[in-house]
Amino acid sequence: MSYRLVIGDKNISSWSLRPWLAMRHAGIPFAEINIELRQPASKANILRYSPSGKMPTLLAGGQAIWDSLAILEYLAEAHPEARLWPEPGEARALARSAAAEMHAGFAALREHCPMDFLARLPMATLPDLVAADVRRIVALWRDCRRRHGASGPFLFGGFSAADAMYGPVASRFRTYLPDLAPYGDDGAAQAYVDALFALPAMAEWEEGVHRETRS
């Protein structure tokens, strides 16, 4: 199967980072189609590939698969060797819950702390709703790590689709919240953020941001 992944600007397109990270980390080959966001022609350009008018969209042969979580599910099914969901059923159910919670939630964090990959804008205080989101994410990460993370540095040990879903959150934390201790972190959440940024695929995304912002 030949894949093309339609994505937005790497500095700000948090949804795009999710499947991109999973595919790069898993070594699933794909070509990128880059569409600049916030331009007069952006919507028309996206609609050439994606019926929803949103990115990311995976073009798998002749078929378009849109929405980051649907793309991850498609890839997990098409590439079982990539182990995008953890094996034991209980861990897999928790990984899916964590991914879905991210997909459907944390609206306050998204609104007040938009992904801005290269920026460093530490926030000393957060609006209550954002602080509640951060506390919940820190607690969720700790729970996943404690219950299922023994075999590696990620939420379920080895890298999974849940980590792809939270990659953009790691970027938001690096930008706005370099210290997670006030939100209940005992060190596990920060270590997890560091593990995500130690991935060669994250470094490659960052290089891509530099290239795009220079051009």
**DSSP 8-class letter at 113:** S
Q: In this chain, which of 55, 65, 134, 195 binds ligand GSH, going by CB under 6 A?
A: 55
**Smallest gap, in angstroms, from Cβ of residue 38 to ligand GSH?**
8
For residues 97, 12, 3, 155, the Cα torsion angle rounded to the nearest 10 degrees is -30
Q: What are the b/e assignments for 133-149, b being 16+ CB within 10 Å?
A: bbbbbbebbbebbeebb
Span from 39-47, 84-92, 106-114, 192-200 in contact with ligand GSH (CB under 6 A)? 39-47
Q: What is the total count of residues that contact ligand GSH (CB under 6 A)?
A: 16
**Is residue 67 at the binding interface for ligand GSH, with CB under 6 A as the rule?**
yes
Return d(Cα 95, Cα 78) in angstroms, integer. 18
Non-local (6+) Cβ contacts of 190 within 8 A are 180
Measured from the CB atom, the residue of 116 and 143 that comes closer to ligand GSH is: 116
Span from 23-31, 46-54, 130-138, 173-181 in contact with ligand GSH (CB under 6 A)? 46-54
At 87, give phi and psi (nearest 5°): -70, -60
**Smallest gap, in angstroms, from Cβ of residue 105 to ligand GSH?**
12
Residues that bind ligand GSH (CB under 6 A): 8, 13-16, 37, 42-43, 46, 53-56, 67-69
